[in-house]
Amino acid sequence: MSGIGLIRSVLGLISTSAALHLGYGDSANPGQRAAVFFLYGLCLMPFGVGWWFGFVTMVVLNILQWLSRRFNWLTWKWWELSAGALQGTAVAATLLRHG
């Protein structure tokens, strides 16, 4: 599995699933949203992604959420596409580097 063992893969699966099930909608305050977005990046650590990626993810997703609330052209599907692309790119780059 590209240099990542079964245990790390299962931990990555569980932590990613947990992070993706946390709420960050309109009822969440900015601190809660920032924490959830931080976990979006941090949950990838079992795959070998650096801890700093949690911070990068938090910043990018907070900006995108602000833009989606400010402008109608940035719909929710673009936010979700960006979040998935950010996570997928990080895992793919890590696997290529360590594979």
Q: DSSP assignment of 37-70, as one string?
A: HHHHHHTTGGGT--THHHHHHHHHHHHHHHHHHH
Does the pTM surpass 0.85? The reply is no
pLDDT over 50 (residue 8): yes
How confident is the model over 17-73, as pLDDT tens digits?
888 888 777 788 888 888 888 888 888 888 888 888 878 888 888 888 888 888 888
pLDDT over 50 (residue 1): no
Highest averaged pLDDT of the listed ranges 3-7, 26-30, 69-73, 81-85: 81-85
Kindly state the average pLDDT of the residues 76-85. 88
